[in-house]
Each structure stands twice: as structure tokens, then as C-alpha cells.
Structure 1
Amino acid sequence: MKSQKTALVFGATGLVGTELVKVLNKDDRYNEIKIFGRHSSGFADGKVKEIITELSNKSLLVTEMTGDDIYCCLGTTIKKARTKEAFRKVDLGFPKLIAEVASAKNISKMIVISSIGASSHTSNFYLKTKGEMEEALNEILKDKVYFLRPSFLLGNRSESRPGEQAGKFLMKLVGPLFRGKMKKYRAIEAHSVAEAMVYIANMSGEKHVFESDEIVDLLKKHKA
């Protein structure tokens, strides 16, 4: 018998989020996909329900966040956010608010995209923010939250990021040279990250943080 689950997706218009909705649409375990965002995601499917809102609207989140698994693919860049404060609002503030609502509503799991190198102890602003986000969500959700830390993401973005195409070419070229402890720095397909998110949401296990190479290994074992 198929389980009839509801997925709650934040960040559906990004590189991983777009792939995630495609994966969820094909997964019979989910009969509804709720997408939260400021603008329409462009997905038109019988399983998709869009909730157009500012993510700071806590009262609406409390009303609409009914379901089973939360998938958080939120993330921006300093260039797009323009200020560090605006960046932290998207990469730390919104995930924290979502986690707080999830905790109050007893959501089963929250699967979150973080970043390779995330650490609250680093001087790198981007990685420090990601590390602080992980710590905040761990404090709120305990063993209900899972983090994926992908390396350089491969895939087609809807937005243009100058220099990224050259980066993709370089990462594909040198990636095979990364071995041992360096293996986690290999570039990874956004679709693979999306597949891993859904797999992790539906598995049982003690592991809650997955480095980029561990994401790849997890999918290989799953598909073997």
C-alpha cells in the first residue's frame, strides 16, 4: 500500500529545488507537494499546491505547514542579497523560522541543503552562516533534521551566474584527481542531491550530516 505523504518545499525555484520537485512528482509515496515562495515556481501539476507568501509570514506558515517532510533548499548569494544582513535572513533566518514552526507542528523530518565546509568557527562569512544555520536547526529539531553539504553544483540554473560555466568545466576536468579526503570536493549534479534528499527523508538511520562524496555513495548503494 502506498503511503500518502505531503512534502513541504522551500526554495523550489533554485538549482536543487527545481530538480527536487521533479523527483517528488515521480515519487508515489507523495500525493501532495506544497511549494512555499514569494513568486510562482512555474510548476503546474496535479500534486503541486503553491503557497505564495513572504517566508517571514509566520502566521501563514503555521496555517499552511501541514504535512510530513520538509525540504529546505533556500540559499542566495551576497551579490543577489546585496547586504550581509539580507543574506543571513535567507540562509539563516528563514530556515530557523521554518524549523520553529515545524517543531511546534510535529513535522516528521526536515531535510536541508547546507554547504561543504559549513562551520560556525570559520572566518568565511558564507560558510560561517551555513554553520550557524546548522547549529540553530539542530537546537530546535534535534534528531529530526538532516543536512546535505554538496560541493560545486552541476546543472542548469534559471539565473545567470557569470564565471560559473568556466567553474563547471574546471571542476569536471580536475574532479577525478580528488581522492581520499579530497573526494568530497568533487562537483556533484544537482539532480543527485535532490534524489538523495528524498531518499534520506524516507530512510531510517543515525547519520544526520552527509558530505558531498557521501551523498554520491548513498545513491550508489540505494540504486545497487
Structure 2
Amino acid sequence: MKKAIIYGASGLVGSYILEYLLNNPNYEQIIIVVRKDLNIQHPKLKILIGDFHSLDNVVKGIQTDEIYIALGTTQKKTPDKKIYYQIDHDYPVLASKLAKENGAKAVFLVSAVGANPNSSVFYTKTKGEAEEDILNLNFDHTYIFRPSMILGNRKENRPLEKGLKTLFKIINPLFVASLSKYKGIEASDIAKAMVNSADGANERVKILHWKEMIALLK
């Protein structure tokens, strides 16, 4: 029986990760780190209230086998690049480092298609640097999930994103062969792929795009 810790459990992908892990008989305890209580009760669930600045103390001595990271923001929501970088890079890297110190052997990270530490685009560069720094922590298993447009209904209203999601559903069939990684994917499918991949994690490093994620749903 395993223990897992989730960061980003209140978000679109993270809420599905939480749901799937709570319903997975292979796990005895699921720990989530959130800024405020989600008012969810489950015998396997442990809720820790904290953020980037308090994390060191919040997770002190919390032993886990796996860490799931679905943290992220948008430039509209977080226009300050310093805070954006903290959420998309610093927080995932710190959370991973602390989890490894607490015994975690595997990390499952939601990144983004095109993530590249050498990119000239701030968004993809930040994601790429987060990936690189987490890889350098040398977990036994590092699985990086790189979705394109994440489909699903968010709690907050994002009109532009809604329009893009509708467009992606129409143009998805056009992304074939090597372009398949640009296909939009449901948040629930990303989460399911992450949880399913943990059951048979046997590779040290694995990068998963649309095709690899969809294959894990079968």
C-alpha cells in the first residue's frame, strides 16, 4: 500500500488526480497541500494547509512514496513574472525536493507541450526549467506529462480559454502523426494517465505527450 502527496489538488487536473487516488485500492493515504481547506472528507485523505513560504514546516516528517504535481497559473491571473515563476517553477521544484527527502521514489509532473529550458518564450522556458531541475533531483522515476490545451470546465470563468477549447475540439482530428502532441486533452484523462502510469512505473525518466497519455487510458 502506497502513500502519495498531491500539489494543485484544487485545480482542474489536480482535483481529478485526487479523486482517482482516493478510489485506488493501491493507496492507503493521500496527502494534499492546499492554501485553504477544500471541505472534502475521506478516510484516506490528509489535508495540510500551507503554501510555498511555509512548505518546509508543513511537510516536515511527512513520509510518502510518490508526489503528484499539477501546479500552474496563467499570465492573465499572475501578470507579475516573478510570482508566475515562483508558482510554475520554484514551488514544484521545492515540493519535489522535500518529497524526495521524505522518502518519495517517484514524481509525476504536469508540464506543457513545448517545455524547453532554452526557449525564448517565458512560459515554455519556465516549464522547461522546472522539468530540468526536478530531473536533477534524481528520483527513481520521473514521469513528465506534457499536454497541449487542457480541456474541461474550470471553476473560474475564462472566456478566451472557453473559445479556444471549443476550437481545439473541432481541429483536434487535424493533428496527426508527429503533430498529435498538440491535440487538446481532457483534464480527467491527464489525471487518469498519471495515476495509471504509477501502477507500472519502471522507467527512470519518461516524457509523455498526447499519444502516450491516451495509451495509458486503455
Deviations 1:58-91 (A, max 9, x none): 4324425311111100101122223000000011
**SS in structure 2 at match of 1:80:** coil
- Equivalent in the alignment of 1:150: 147
Shift of 1:151: 1.3
- Equivalent in the alignment of 1:91: 88
Deviations 1:23-45 (A, max 9, x none): 11211111211110111223222
Match of 1:100 among 97, 102, 105: 97
Shift of 1:48: 1.3
**SS in structure 1 at match of 2:48:** strand
**Greater mean deviation of Cα atoms: 55-64 or 95-104:** 55-64
- Equivalent in the alignment of 1:134: 131
Task: Indicate the RMSD between aligned Cα atoms, in angstroms.
Answer: 1.5
Q: Which aligned runs of 4 or more in structure 1 are off by greater than 3 angstroms?
A: none
| 8 Å contact from structure 1 (residues 35, 49) kept in 2 | yes
Mapping of residues 30-49 of structure 1, within 5 Å: 30-49=27-46
| 8 Å contact from structure 1 (residues 37, 55) kept in 2 | no
Q: Distance in 2 between matches of 1:141 and 1:62?
A: 20
Q: Distance in 1 between matches of 2:165 and 2:61?
A: 38
**SS in structure 1 at match of 2:88:** helix
Mapping of residues 1-224 of structure 1, within 5 Å: 4-206=1-203, 207-219=205-217, 223=218
Shift of 1:214: 1.4
| 8 Å contact from structure 1 (residues 99, 141) kept in 2 | no
Q: Distance in 2 between matches of 1:42 and 1:75?
A: 22
**SS in structure 2 at match of 1:122:** coil
Normalising by structure 1, we get a TM-score of 0.91
Cα distance change on mapping 1:201 and 1:118 into 2, 3 Å: same
The structure with more helix, counted as a fraction of residues? 1
Give the fraction of aligned pairs with identical amino acids, expressed as a percent. 36
Normalising by structure 2, we get a TM-score of 0.94
Q: Distance in 2 between matches of 1:37 and 1:60?
A: 14
**SS in structure 2 at match of 1:19:** helix
Shift of 1:108: 1.7
Deviations 1:192-219 (A, max 9, x none): 1001111122213325111122111232
Q: Distance in 1 between matches of 2:30 and 2:69?
A: 13
| 8 Å contact from structure 2 (residues 141, 201) kept in 1 | no
| 8 Å contact from structure 1 (residues 61, 101) kept in 2 | no
Cα distance change on mapping 1:132 and 1:85 into 2, 3 Å: same
**SS in structure 2 at match of 1:6:** strand
| 8 Å contact from structure 2 (residues 67, 96) kept in 1 | no
**Greater mean deviation of Cα atoms: 120-129 or 35-44:** 35-44
Structure 2 residue runs of 5 or longer lacking an equivalent are none
Q: Distance in 2 between matches of 1:178 and 1:59?
A: 43
Q: Distance in 2 between matches of 1:142 and 1:31?
A: 21
Q: How many residues align?
A: 217
